[in-house]
Amino acid sequence: MSALSVFAPAKINLALHVTGQREDGYHLLDSLVAFSPIGDRLTLRAAGDFSMAVSGPEARGVPADHSNLVLKAATLFAEHTGMTGSVAFHLEKNLPAASGIGGGSSDAAAAVRGLLQMGFGDAPAVQARVLGMIGGALTRLGADIPMCLSPVAQRVRGVGEDLTPIQLPPLPCLLVNPRVEVATPAVFKALRQKDNSPLPAPPTFATLQECIDWLAQQRNDLQAPAIATAPVIATVLETLAALPGCRLARMSGSGATCFALFATPAEARAAETALRAARPEWWCAEGTLGDQRAASAPRPAFNVV
């Protein structure tokens, strides 16, 4: 198989509790994540050397050298699996960079899924064994990468290595980024209390409203320090909360992307239309959060760049 296309969905932290900090500086998290049908797309083509090209509406400023997580993950994959041959990657960048929705990590996870398919076929047992070989190294490369390998709703604990799939109802969602990059280290540095309470065990939700009501009782402990770093985030949250039909507005990850949840996809689409008219300078996209595993499965690529 010489060319593959792999979807890299946005990762949304519906709740994010910071529960401690290890001696090595890594923060301990307890987070509930879900995945969006909005994301980047990565194309892999057999080549003589690892290389990368970037295009798309959000490509500006995205590195195409070995500082990109895609090439870092590919290099790590080759080192740990003994993979022969190399790959040319083409990244269609649709998600804003450094925005708290795991774009770079999801791109790296897409690279790993594609490399697994190219090198080891689609046998689940073989792929699971290979991932077991490199899982720890991937976590050290980026704490969000392991959760993005299987883009389904999960409770994520520790430094990103403790993953528990959970069941969530489909969540109509609007994502908004005010075009401000927020540095994650600066947000964690501004976090005053780092030993906060963990998430309670997520129950089984009978309805979407039950899920939203439960989420509303949780937190993103990084939201306040992110607002202190980039006050426009507070403006985004206020704007989202005022949209007709908004049931919950919160920041994702370390920011600056925020999300609003709605009862129906139609309400989310109407909110996107209204917000694009009112704030054309902001990035926004709507889609229903849910299981993105099928959408992100590697498939043959056509019209390879």
Active centre residues (catalytic) = 11, 144
CB 62, CB 97: distance < 8 Å: yes
166 is in an annotated binding site: no
Tell me the pairing of strands 299-300 and 3-21. antiparallel
143 is in an annotated binding site: no
53 is in an annotated binding site: no
265 is in an annotated binding site: no
Q: Cα–Cα distance between 92 and 95 in angstroms, integer? A: 9
Distances (CA, A) of 52 to 63, 71, 97: 9, 7, 17
104 is in an annotated binding site: yes
103 is in an annotated binding site: yes
Token output for 70:
């895609």
100 is in an annotated binding site: yes
Annotated binding site: 96-106
Annotated binding site for ATP: 96-106
